[in-house]
Structure 1
Amino acid sequence: MLEHADLIVSDEDDAAVAVGEFRGLCDKLFGHAIGTLAQARPTCRRPCSCPAIRPVFLTGSGAGICPLPVANATSVPARQGCAGGRVRGNRLPDSAVVCFQTDRLDRGSDAIRRSALSSSIRPETEAMNQPRIDGLRSIELGVRDLQKSADFYRRVWALEDVSADGDTIHLRGTSRDHHVVTLRERPRASMLAVHFSAPDRAAIDALHAKAKAMGAMIDDAPSALPKSEGGGYGFRVTSPDGHPLCISADVAQHAEAIDDRSRPTKLTHVVLNSAEIEKQTAFFVDVLGFKWSDSTVMMDFVRCCSDHHSVAIARGNGPSLNHMAYEMPNIDGLMRGAGRVRKSGYEILWGVGRHGPGSNVFSYFVEPNGFVTEYTTEVDQVGDNYVGHDGKWWMEQNVFPCRWNMAGVPSPFTRKAMSGELLEEENKRCEEIMAQALGR
């Protein structure tokens, strides 16, 4: 689950030493090796006048790099209706040197490869005209026991029923969003889809046309959606890893929000495991219009609204759900909610702590099906001028595994649960029990 890191070094000999030291540090922190690290190349330290900049996702033996110009200090207002968000300043420290790849590459560097995100960051005037997703709606889960799962999400996780139809239940948080999770009874537990919002029907049509033109796998043309799911208008596209993503507009909202700080307001982010992190990140940015926020040695963070990240892609052995996160109004609400979950017999998997990228407070649990689910709050609120950082920069900030130095490193069981292995073990165990019951 660990991502290639960008190392800033002065020569090739130092690069070899740095790679070895960095691998050892990550082994110590996360319990397993990064994998094959790309060989670092000398840093270009000349002033950068590149028209477009993006983080380096090293996939070969080197990359063209240049320092990122220091952005002016700015702040952005928190998104309206977003509880618990922290406005994030956008100044890059003068002492920080961040490794970035640009469209203007050195002609003499034979080993330079273009980033997978070759068109991800465009001039703002062009980006404003691009169709894009503007929010995360909900997650759709296949569960083995519908009523047992619904009991957890109602009684323990504190969501509320919206509608039910046969083998399906939709549940809401305290915001006006129609629902934040859909449970569908299935033979195997799995993530069935992630749902996103777009501003209007015109944006849906434009996103569909763009995805189709770029060769994305699309189920069908945009159409009216079931009223039991809030209605609206949308379509479904499949990511390179095979994850169904549903994009919709004009979905019904509840007349009023619910005032209860101990309950989750919305689904705030989803983290997906992938063996091809570069392809996944490029898909979200280039096809769906997400913006890149940050990269660590573990994952890439991308956003579709003012939240620092709506989706993160974690390096893993293959496609699976790492975890889903629900936003709490504030830290007091998170602690009250986490206390309720513990009192119901579910111990905290990891936390309480505060992350590095996004600065959000976290507390992780495993729900009855084996999915990792998180209560979180105070995620940074960022604007289009937010300056992101690479894995090397984040390692130097000494914010891992927790800014507060309270949560410690994820346990082997936590890593197993987040990798999707625990879910698969539970699926196999249930299948074996069923086979024995049927005398197979």
Structure 2
Amino acid sequence: MSHTAVDKAGPPTPHNDLHSEAGALRGEHPGRSRNPVMKATDLAWLEFEKPDLDRAEVFARDFGFAIAARTEEALWLRGTFAGPPCMVIRRGQASRFTGPAFRAAERSDLDRLAVATGSTVRSIDVPGGGLSVSMLDPSGLPVRVVHCAEPLPALPEQPPLLLNTGSEHRRTNVTQRPPREPSRIQRLGHVVLETRTFTRTLDWYLDTLGMIVSDFLFLDGQRQRGPTMAFIRCDQGSLAVDHHTLALHLGPGTGYVHSAYQVTDLDSIAAGGEYLAERGYRRSWGIGRHIQGSQLFDYWRDPDRFMLEHFADGDLFSSDLEPGWAPMSASGLAQWGPPVTRDFLGAGPSPAKLREVMAALRGDNELDPARLLGLMKAMSS
């Protein structure tokens, strides 16, 4: 990825030396809405359906979640930080992702959103109570915006290890023995979604939820056609927030790609990964450090093949930082770590994947043969 495109794209920006282009060219997507309906403050939780809640709970505990509530029909998972739960898994006939829920700062945000979208404010069965507005994004994915009545209290933390560095010795006469135990989840960080209608879906999240783009990725030789991936954060003004709360990318599928959960530090990621491996779970990719977002990462598959990420040490951006631009490539996914796997990229051929591609190419969407070939090239470069 170029670090020297300043002459093409204008003067230096804060994105210089962050593995990004200097910024947008004239006329490219600004990465934010001029007058959004509201400004979501964060992800609240993710919603799934699964037929076996007992099996889901076993994995949840092994991955590092705490249990916020459990009934015959629903399992609510949480992290150690105070706030809403991270995930709800409801009993269903098949395993599927049923959508994200975003947090509203005020109840009045829900009222304004309901009027703008023709929706209704309704009660929701979250632990502690709350209200929500339900919508569909342009991909057809259900999206909630919620305002919770009572946040869950904080739980005990997994303390970070005290590290010695070359010139700073903070630990003497004490050994370092991190326990082999689950990585203790602190909070939900982000969700990644695939869409066939990338630009329409991106604009909907910016216009409706007031989110802003941190980084765009484009296909090599196709920048003039616009970006094909966006890392999107919430807009809380001068308060620095996660580099991305939502990431969208163009593809033949629609919906969930993976979700990410913050843990304390690298040792928590590594020791928790050993714990998962000993129990027979499958690592998808890791351990490494990303480029966009900079976070340390480790990706795992749950028993239903949903991908979940442990992460730590991610970037935090305030609202004044403009989007970076960079070409999309598999090699551009990490600064260091093992080579990206076909499993992580979803590149394994299957009858279901071929049907998905054929349906996408026939539909009214942004995926055409040139885009598809560009995506295939990017994932092998």
Common fold: TM-score over 0.5: yes
State the 1:278 CA deviation: 1.2
Structure 1 residue 381 corresponds to structure 2 residue 316: yes
Q: TM-score, length-normalised on structure 2?
A: 0.74
What is the identity, as a one-letter code, of the residue corresponding to 1:120?
R
Aligned partner of residue 83 in structure 2, secondary structure: coil
- Change beyond 3 A, Cα 1:383–1:418: farther
Using the alignment, how far apart are the partners of 1:420 and 1:355 within structure 2?
Answer: 28
By how many angstroms is 1:416 displaced?
2.7
TM-aligned CA deviation for residue 399 of structure 1: 6.6
For 1:7-406, what aligned pairs fall within 5 Å after superposition? 67-71=9-13, 90=14, 92=16, 97-102=22-27, 120-122=32-34, 131-154=38-61, 156-212=62-118, 220-226=119-125, 228-261=126-159, 262-297=183-218, 299-304=229-234, 306-392=241-327, 400-404=332-336, 406=337
Give the match for residue 110 of structure 1: none
Shift of 1:255: 2.7
Please name the residue that 2:163 is paired with: none
Structure 2 Cα separation of the partners of residues 418 and 172 of structure 1: 32
The partner residue of 1:409 within 325, 334, 340 is 340
Q: Give the distance between the partners of 2:284 and 2:17, measured in 1 at CA.
A: 34
Q: Secondary structure at the match of 1:206?
A: helix
| Structure 1 alignment gaps of length 5 or more | 10-42, 46-65, 72-89, 103-114, 213-219, 426-440
Secondary structure at 2:333 match in 1: coil
**Cα distance change on mapping 1:338 and 1:206 into 2, 3 Å:** same
Deviation at 1:96, TM superposition (A): 5.5
Q: Do the aligned residues in 1 keep the contact of 2:130 with 2:147 (CA within 8 Å)?
A: yes
SS in 2 for 1:260: coil
When residues 97 and 153 of structure 1 are mapped into structure 2, their CA distance, relative to the original with a 3 A threshold, is: closer
Once the two structures are superposed, residues 134-187 of structure 1 have per-residue CA deviations (whole angstroms, 9 ceiling, x without a partner) of: 011111111131211111112x11212221232211111111123111111211
Structure 1's 139 and 420: CA in aligned 2 closer, same or farther, altered over 3 A? farther
Residues 418 and 314 of structure 1: CA distance in aligned 2, closer, same or farther (over 3 Å): farther
Distance 2:264 2:87 in 1: 18
Secondary structure of 1:390's counterpart equals strand
Bigger drift between 234-243 and 253-262 goes to 253-262
1:249 is paired with a residue of what secondary structure? strand
Residues 420, 344 of structure 1: CA spacing in aligned structure 2 closer, same or farther, 3 A cutoff? Answer: farther
Q: Deviations 1:171-207 (Å, cap 9, x if unpaired)?
A: 1111112311111121111101211101111122223
Secondary structure at the aligned position of 2:334 is classed as coil
- Alpha carbon RMSD of aligned pairs, Å? 3.3
- Compared with structure 1, are the counterparts of its residues 401 and 67 closer, same or farther at alpha carbon in structure 2 (3 Å cutoff)? closer
Contact 2:75 2:89 in 1 (8 A): yes
Residues of 2 paired with 1:160 and 1:172: CA distance? 5
- 1-side partners of 2:265 and 2:85: how far apart? 21
* Structure 2: gaps of 5 or more residues: 160-182, 219-227, 236-240, 356-381
Q: Which SS does the other structure have where 2:346 is aligned?
A: helix
1:175 and 1:422 mapped to 2: Cα distance? 39
Q: 1:139 to 1:417 in 2, by over 3 A?
A: farther
Find the structure with the greater CA-based Rg: 1
Give the structure-1-normalised TM-score.
0.64
**Higher strand fraction: Structure 1 or Structure 2?**
2
Aligned counterparts of 1:268 and 1:183: Cα–Cα separation in 2: 18
Secondary structure of 1:340's partner?
helix
Give yes or no for contact 2:15–2:21 (8 Å, CA) kept in 1. Answer: no
- Give distance in 1, aligned partners of 2:15 and 2:251: 32
Identical columns (%): 22
Offset, 1:223: 2.7
Give a deviation string over 1:354-411, Cα, whole Å, max 9, x none: 111000111111101110111111110000111321133x76xx9723202x221222
Alpha-carbon separation, structure 1, partners of 2:41 and 2:274: 32
Q: Distance in 1 between matches of 2:195 and 2:350?
A: 11
